[in-house]
Amino acid sequence: MTTETVAAEAGRDFIRDIIQADLESGKHREIVTRFPPEPNGYLHIGHAKSIALNFGIAQEFSGRCHLRFDDTNPTKEEQEYIDSIQADVHWLGYDWGKNLFYASDYFDRLYEWAEGLIRAGLAYVDDQSQEEIRINRGTLTEPGKNSPFRERSVEENLDLFRRMKAGEFPNGARVLRARIDMTSGNINLRDPVLYRILHATHPRTGDKWSIYPSYDYAHGQSDAIEGITHSICTLEFEDHRPLYDWFLGKLPVPAKPHQYEFARLNLTYTLLSKRVLTLLVRDGHVSGWDDPRMPTIAGLKRRGVPPAAIREFVKRIGVAKANSVVDVGMLEFCIREELNRTALRRMAVLRPLKVVIENYPEGQTEELEAVNHPDDPAAGTRRIAFGRELYIERDDFMENPPKKFFRLSPGNEVRLRYAYFIKCREAIKNAAGEIVELRCTYDPLTRGGNAPDGRKVKATMHWLPAAQSRPAEIRIYSQLFANPSPDASNFTVDLNQQSLETLNDARVEPAIAEANSLDAVQFERQGYFVRDKDSSADRLVFNRTIGLRDTFAKEVGKG
């Protein structure tokens, strides 16, 4: 299949087919989806899949997509996460318009409905401890046991539930449970917890509540209140659907959304669990949620990944019903493809070696023209100073080169990009025998990079003028985990100890210092880089977004 076909076909999947059919049959006239994050961490690339699916569907079918915070657990949720989630959804290119909601908006209604369930004999207050509830829930092979409090009267249940709400009891003393079936084959139906006591200040409702609804109780009802037509979620909630449908059948809800499940995104060399990501941050394995090695949207953004690359990636992987693991090379492929198209070209010397052009007059400089993008003349050109003292990449010189080394070596001639041919005469060493400087000559007739006599050179190298280039720190990242399938339950052993290499003495073109800090540029022959927020007026810091080498394409090319 060509990439065009893949991209075009990614526009169709089983969920979109269902939606199309629902519109055609008249079951729905307007499509309403939602993205329902819990604000207990930053969004990651897996969430991007869900965001693109929900917001994408709303766009394609002229419907709307709500952003709803599932803020039912104030002990884990914070305003910082709410803010970051909104910023990240916008950055990805999606907009909820006026449709910003919180599950906490519905706390009053959810409470009323819970009292309704008690009155109907469908919910009861249980005094068992958390541990007892867990044990008595049974297992996949053994039925659960009824709670000794299951037969309480409606009056007693109402009284206790109201006192739970009034804050009379300590955390964990009691819960409200649905009264369904402790022998059900589906454990989610074995009298699930609807409310727990939690004396905690909520970011939005403050100290109003001493009880909070469970995710399972709040989630489906929030969808119903908002008139969501297609509640799209990941496969782990498939077994919860009978419970959600039970609530919809028993409560006076204004709508009955249907839930559809799709496979969550898994990536090689990556863990997409908020629990793990939280620990990585908390225990200092990374510098924060936006550390460029993190699979978070904030991390990818700081790394220089354009949102279009993430959207393209999500489109290519498609939406399916079977869990799978996507090669992280696929994401890298999309990043390279987007940046190759859009990133301006610049020069940087990551590990500089000084070059003195002996036959270039002292004190003289000139400006040479360099193109900003080889495939886009509209991107224009810029000027780079050339003079007697330059820097080249340390790796581009070898004193005793092997046979196939065509870059600079004593006596060998090479081209400096956009500039001149140069030849190395001598390598100067320090007392320790390390090369500290090259003495070279240039051919003034090769200005612009071609020899009038037609002679050829086998290598073109990037370089920078010593005086006019700027010092910079460059951070080279590789995978955070060394293991292609890191173990989420013991992830520290799989951490890649070499995931960050810092180059302190790099040099960059002055034009980069002026560039928009949010856009990655290509450092010719090196890869794509973006200015980091740690940069200051006198110290530039760059992150390597990704190298130029496309190992993934080689891998798939074999097949």
What is d(CA 166, CA 163) in angstroms, rounded to the nearest whole number? 5
Number of residues counted as binding ligand ATP (CB under 6 A): 14
Considering just the CA atoms, what is the radius of gyration of the chain in Å? 31
- Closer to ligand ATP by Cβ: residue 31 or 117: 31
Within residues 212-231, the interface with ligand ATP by CB under 6 A covers none
**Which listed range, 199-207, 243-251, 268-276, 535-543, lies at the site for ligand ATP (CB under 6 A)?**
268-276
Asked if residue 268 binds ligand ATP (CB under 6 A), the reply is no
Among 38, 71, 223, 338, binds ligand ATP (CB under 6 A): 38
Residue of closest CB approach to ligand ATP? 46
**Which listed range, 41-49, 327-335, 360-368, 537-545, lies at the site for ligand ATP (CB under 6 A)?**
41-49
- Closer to ligand ATP by Cβ: residue 212 or 463: 212
Count of residues for the chain? 559
Residue 233: which residues within 8 A CB-CB, separation 6 or more? 36, 50, 259, 260, 261, 262
**Which residue is catalytic, options 145, 150, 204, 264?**
264
* Coil, helix or strand at residue 83: helix
Least distance from ligand ATP to the Cβ atom of residue 41, Å: 7
Burial tier of 308 (Cβ tally within 10 Å: 0-12, 13-18, 19+)? middle
Asked if residue 99 binds ligand ATP (CB under 6 A), the reply is no
**Which listed range, 32-40, 110-118, 358-366, 498-506, lies at the site for ligand ATP (CB under 6 A)?**
32-40
Asked if residue 274 binds ligand ATP (CB under 6 A), the reply is yes
The residue to which tokens 């290499």 are assigned: 501
**Which residue is catalytic, options 68, 196, 274, 303?**
274
Burial tier of 490 (Cβ tally within 10 Å: 0-12, 13-18, 19+)? exposed
Distances (CA, A) of 339 to 198, 267, 294, 345, 556: 48, 21, 20, 10, 20
Please indicate whether residue 274 is annotated as part of the active site.
yes
Among 36, 56, 465, 486, binds ligand ATP (CB under 6 A): 36
Asked if residue 272 binds ligand ATP (CB under 6 A), the reply is yes
Among 19, 89, 176, 233, binds ligand ATP (CB under 6 A): 233
Least distance from ligand ATP to the Cβ atom of residue 30, Å: 21
Asked if residue 234 binds ligand ATP (CB under 6 A), the reply is yes
Q: Work out the number of other CB atoms within 10 angstroms of the CB of residue 378.
A: 6
Between β-strands 470-477 and 540-547, what pairing exists: parallel, antiparallel or unpaired? parallel
- Closer to ligand ATP by Cβ: residue 67 or 512: 67
- Closer to ligand ATP by Cβ: residue 90 or 539: 90
Least distance from ligand ATP to the Cβ atom of residue 137, Å: 20
- Closer to ligand ATP by Cβ: residue 37 or 192: 37
* Coil, helix or strand at residue 314: helix
Please indicate whether residue 145 is annotated as part of the active site.
no
Among 49, 152, 311, 544, binds ligand ATP (CB under 6 A): 49
Asked if residue 50 binds ligand ATP (CB under 6 A), the reply is yes
Residue 462: which residues within 8 A CB-CB, separation 6 or more? 347, 348, 349, 392, 393, 416, 417, 523, 524, 525, 526
Asked if residue 273 binds ligand ATP (CB under 6 A), the reply is yes
Q: HSE of 94 in the Cβ direction (CA atoms, 13 Å)?
A: 30
Distances (CA, A) of 83 to 21, 87, 100: 36, 6, 12
- Residue 365's nearest CA partner among 244, 517, 437, 468 is 468
Residue 262 backbone phi and psi in degrees, to 5: -130, 165
Asked if residue 311 binds ligand ATP (CB under 6 A), the reply is no
Binding site for ligand ATP (CB under 6 A): 36-38, 46-47, 49-50, 233-234, 264-265, 272-274
- Active site members: 38, 264, 274
